[in-house]
Copies of this chain bind each other. A is one copy, B any other.
Amino acid sequence: MEEKLQKLKDLLAQYQDLRHTASLLEWDQQCYMPHGGSESRSYQSATILRLAHETITSDEVGKLLEELTPRVDEMNPDSNTARLIKVANRRYHKLTRVPAKLVAEIAETVARAHNVWVDARAESNFAKFEPYLKRIVELRREYAGQFQPYDHVYDPLLDDYEPGMKTAEVQKIFAALRPQQVELIKAISAKPQVDSSFLYQKFDPQKQWDFGKKVITDFGYDWEHGRLDTAAHPFTINFGRDDVRLTTRVDPNFFNSAFFANLHECGHGLYEQGSAPELERTVLAGGASLAIHESQSRMWENLVGRSLPFWRHYYPRLQQEFPAQLGNVSLEAFYRGINRVEPSPIRVEADEATYNLHIMLRLEIEIGLMDGTLDVHDLPEIWNNRMEEYLGIRPADDRHGVLQDVHWSGGMIGYFATYALGNIVSVQFWEKINQDIPDLPAQIEAGQFGELLGWVRENIHRHGKKFEPQELVARVTGSKIDAAPYMRYLRQKFGEIYGL
């Protein structure tokens, strides 16, 4: 038994090493690879990912899991070993149930589709992308079909990104949230708009860079085990808990872009740096799911970084760095400016109050495509109509509408919901944190984040993937994922800012 467990751990360690190595290939490609290196790189990535896949889906892993699984009943169900076997089983079965031929066809299709999407978006020409998206929808439906029986055809897709989560659960959460959020935005739109023009000035890139680094250093980001680089699209990636790297991009003419990306990515990075050392090189290491990950990035970005206590501490320091730009802007005006709510067509530029509606629209479309109630051909119109219904605006063209996101071209149907769930979960955690640390606002106002970081480390980070998202949220907050706290938060914050 011990020997078999060790053999399984060795194979899983090899799997993790290969995945982390693939991540370094990816990081390097985004950050430093010379432009002409892409052909070799694509071979290397394909080989490493194939070997990772072959490792986790090997007969040897299957046999070991078969032998070890019955022994889990004798273990403490929360022990690392019991959870390790559970998560490894999950991954093994999810990956082995899909025929290699289908995996290959999806890979080939999305490789072609991505390039077509790039062109189609540039030309704002949905018809060009349409046949590829149709094929992707068919293939993803075929993929889901491998996991029958299910409650909903969308379940296996959602589960790829949010382990154990059901479509019905997400629909219920979103259904409760949507009308309230639409109503809030209408109320805000009826009020005088706040000024944010001062954010659109020349801000010296090096000073922006240094200020952002200073803040995430205060948050507790560990530079001994991380670094910050420039990338076209900010992301966080890690090759173990001891090497967690952030990326950002600096807009010399807009303050928010780099600063809040720094805070956001730092939230992801702190999560990975906080995974328990004893989970390293196992399938339990690192963030529990995309939604839980997003709850951490959104907490530091929004709940901390877009709060008044935070800026009570940092705003005088920021004014010192940029006296010409901000010397005459009051703290309160700055706070309102960075929290300005304004329905806009592009998801990645959306504010806290409108963001989730972008997601709900996508989720409804994805579910409709999968269960056959929507046709790809009709997407542009459906998209634009729903944007009008939810946000009161209509995209000028498909480039600013249905073609804006990369996800579908990459076959990632099932992904979007995690963004909104992350926002929702972040506030559930936040309410609990504020109960446990009553003077948290005062600590933040003093620029002290140690107790906050300690709390998320203890309650969330260290567990890695031991608990599925719903279980983790329930353990931490006593409740499953629930949008009520999030809605309370939005109402209070934007009620104050807009005088509702």
A interface residues (Cβ-Cβ under 8 A, vs B): 13-14, 17-18, 20-21, 24-25, 28, 32-41, 43-44, 47-48, 51, 222-227, 239-243, 245, 280-281
Contact = CB atoms under 8 A, between A and B. Distances in A.
B243 A13 contact: no
Given A13-B43, A47-B14, A36 B222 contact: yes
A17 B36 contact: no
By secondary structure, the A interface counts as helix
Contact of A51 (B37, B44, B51, B241): B51
Contacts of A51: 14, 51
A243 B37 contact: yes
A20 B37 contact: no
A91 to B, nearest CB: 18
Nearest to A245: B34
Given A37-B239, A280-B40, A21 B14 contact: no
A21 to B, nearest CB: 5
Nearest to A241: B40
A409 to B, nearest CB: 25
B28 A44 contact: no
Given A24-B24, A25-B24, A28-B24, A17 B43 contact: yes
B34 A47 contact: no
A106 to B, nearest CB: 22
A41 B224 contact: no
Contact of A281 (B43, B222, B245): B43
A32 B239 contact: no
Contacts of A34: 223-227, 243, 245
A239 to B, nearest CB: 6
A421 to B, nearest CB: 29
The 7 A-B residue pairs with the shortest CB-CB distance, nearest first, are A40-B240, A37-B243, A17-B47, A36-B224, A36-B225, A17-B44, A21-B44
A35 B225 CA distance: 7
Contacts of A33: 243
Nearest to A40: B240
Contacts of A241: 40
Nearest to A37: B243
A246 to B, nearest CB: 11
Given A28-B24, A47-B17, A36 B281 contact: no
Nearest to A226: B34
Contacts of A20: 40, 44
Contacts of A240: 37, 39-41, 43-44
A28 B33 CA distance: 11
11 contacts: A13-B47, A17-B44, A32-B32, A34-B224, A34-B227, A34-B243, A40-B280, A41-B239, A41-B243, A44-B240, A51-B51
A245 B17 CA distance: 24
Contact of A225 (B14, B37, B48, B223): B37
Contacts of A222: 36
A17 B243 contact: no
Given A20-B44, A40-B242, 12 more contacts: A13-B47, A17-B48, A18-B47, A21-B44, A21-B47, A21-B48, A36-B222, A37-B225, A37-B240, A40-B241, A43-B240, A43-B281
Contacts of A243: 33-34, 36-37, 40-41
B40 A239 contact: yes
